[in-house]
Structure 1
Amino acid sequence: MKDQFKLFLSLLIVFVTFLNQDVLAWGHTGHRAVAEVADNHLTKKAKKQLQAILGDSAYLPMVSTWMDDIKSDNKYSFMYTWHFINIDEGQTFETLERNPKGDIIKTIEEMKSVLKDPSSSKRQKAQAVKILTHLVGDLHQPFHVGHASDWGGNKVKVTWFGNPSNIHRVWDSEMLGSKGLSYSEIAKYVDHATPEEVKVIQSATTVDMMQESYALCTNLYDVGDGKLGYRYLYDNYKTVEERIEYAGIRLAGILNDILG
């Protein structure tokens, strides 16, 4: 009986870990920072259209975490695989066997189609905005395009200032959290692209965005002795800021193209 309990406990830990992988890119603070940057770059027409679609919740930072907020509701469990796409070493996006349940690339394109479709209901469009706002942020977290073999970096164990962690979690929230800033403070600090730079940043396709993240995470798998702290933060925080800035600017570009 004791051995059976130990086996059950081990399986439960693995199961919970699996459920929690790849779900909280950037954490709530990072997602809201992405959405705040996007809000800064929306056209007046796009903002008006969002008001009509979202009603009282027509503020992107407040809907940006919806896909994480509902993860405990079983009726939304089918959305789990939408948060990421995993590409192992030796694979390419073109040769990858895509998940039949969907992935982040497919879902972003589908949500864009929902918003463009005049026959889509207001409810469908509202959900599409929430999903797009979240997933464009997810796509810019490098380990949401990490290796399938290590669950997008979740199995790459490290310590963060002496505390047990993994490389996915470090990039999700721990580097951002270490600064102690609000989402609006982060957005204000990172959002400094010129109009010319904005145009270039927004020219990226969804696959381009994925390829950027994949190129980054491929190098980020080298964690040395795994003891991460001040030096790692110093070396990588600028990349975190850039990914948040790019995600927000590109989200605005997508919404402006469709609604503005």
Structure 2
Amino acid sequence: MKHFILSIISITLLFGGTFLPQKVMAWGQTGHRVVAEVAENHLNKKAKKALQEILGDSAYLPIVSTWMDDIKSDKKYSFMSPWHYINLDEGETFKDIQRSSKGDILKAIDDMIKILEDENSSKKQKALAVKVLTHLIGDLHQPFHVGHKSDLGGNKVKVTWFGKPSNIHRVWDSDMIGSKGLSYTELAKFVDTASVEEVVKIQSASTVDMMNESHQLCTRFYKEVGDGKLGYRYIYDNYHVVEDRIMKAGIRLAGILNKALG
């Protein structure tokens, strides 16, 4: 399949500026593809048609869901690095924080939605917006993407995972999901079980609501690191949260795309 990538000229014109990169991941490839697969299941006909026109041969959200991680080694995209997260320290609320001048996940999501809703946006701009939005809605539902600035969202909180070095951010990104050995399509089938009524309720959340959910969870999981020796018990106690977050991310992504492209 053909993969559409915007030229750096178009990106610079659209967003402007360059920023220093940071290494940030969320959900890993499998998790992001699960979010996108769930979203595919909840797209309406108008959104599906619009995505086909925008993305062409790549009009399948799991294909584009990892694009923002795929391009991290390319310096011309380093200005996107701060878009993957927003930091709230313990006890802080959204009203307390000073937003980064480099942008953050909430601003990036809002910007992408505006591009999709604007009938004057070009196909290139909309294609980039879909890629970014598909990824960032997933990121926003990973609890440690709303973690503490001091430890880089849990990246500095060292733990062992079945005796091997890891950190609490990575545990939530990919270690727990990887432990199940499921493909993204298999996992999507397991988690995409919400009723029509539940879907409506899930999609009623604002992006600030989504952020607050993640922050509340992350505050809890910071406290539950304990001695840092994580394994089977940690999976048993917390895997249902992983399933819930990726399910909600997918359903909400579909709701956003249905509204913006409908």
Do the two structures share a fold, i.e. TM-score over 0.5?
yes
The one-letter code sitting in structure 1 at the alignment partner of 2:82 is: T
Q: Where does residue 19 of structure 1 map in the other structure?
A: 22
Counterparts of residues 1-260 of structure 1 (less than 5 Å): 19-20=22-23, 23-222=24-223, 223-260=225-262
1:2-31 per-residue CA deviation (whole Å, 9 max, x = no partner) reads xxxxxxxxxxxxxxxx832xx220000000
Q: What displacement does 1:44 show?
A: 1.1
Q: What displacement does 1:92 show?
A: 1.6
Q: What displacement does 1:64 show?
A: 0.3
> % of aligned pairs identical?
73
C-alpha distance in 2, partners of 1:101/1:148?
Answer: 15
C-alpha distance in 1, partners of 2:192/2:249?
Answer: 11
1:20-59 per-residue CA deviation (whole Å, 9 max, x = no partner) reads 2xx2200000000000000000001110000000001000
Q: In the alignment, is the contact (CA less than 8 A) between 2:22 and 2:82 conserved in 1?
A: no
Which runs of 4 or more aligned residues in structure 1 lie more than 2 Å from their structure 2 counterparts after TM superposition? none
C-alpha distance in 1, partners of 2:183/2:45?
Answer: 25
The structure richer in helix per residue is 1
* Corresponding residue SS for 1:158: strand
Aligned residues: 241
* Corresponding residue SS for 1:25: coil
Give 5+ residue unaligned stretches, structure 1. 1-17
C-alpha distance in 2, partners of 1:248/1:218?
Answer: 23
* Corresponding residue SS for 1:165: strand
* Corresponding residue SS for 1:154: coil
C-alpha distance in 2, partners of 1:52/1:19?
Answer: 33
Q: What displacement does 1:89 show?
A: 1.7
Q: Where does residue 9 of structure 1 map in the other structure?
A: none
C-alpha distance in 2, partners of 1:46/1:118?
Answer: 14
Q: Where does residue 14 of structure 1 map in the other structure?
A: none
The one-letter code sitting in structure 1 at the alignment partner of 2:90 is: E
Q: Where does residue 10 of structure 2 map in the other structure?
A: none
Q: Taking structure 1 as the reference length, what is the TM-score of the superposition?
A: 0.92
The one-letter code sitting in structure 2 at the alignment partner of 1:193 is: A
* Corresponding residue SS for 2:150: helix
Q: What displacement does 1:95 show?
A: 1.7
Q: What displacement does 1:91 show?
A: 2.1
The one-letter code sitting in structure 2 at the alignment partner of 1:41 is: H
The one-letter code sitting in structure 2 at the alignment partner of 1:27 is: G
Bigger-Rg structure (1/2): 1
The one-letter code sitting in structure 1 at the alignment partner of 2:99 is: R
CA RMSD of aligned residues (A): 0.8
Give 5+ residue unaligned stretches, structure 2. 1-20
C-alpha distance in 2, partners of 1:177/1:123?
Answer: 34
C-alpha distance in 2, partners of 1:89/1:198?
Answer: 30
The one-letter code sitting in structure 1 at the alignment partner of 2:91 is: G
1:167-226 per-residue CA deviation (whole Å, 9 max, x = no partner) reads 000000000001000000010100000000000000000000000000000000021111
* Corresponding residue SS for 2:166: strand
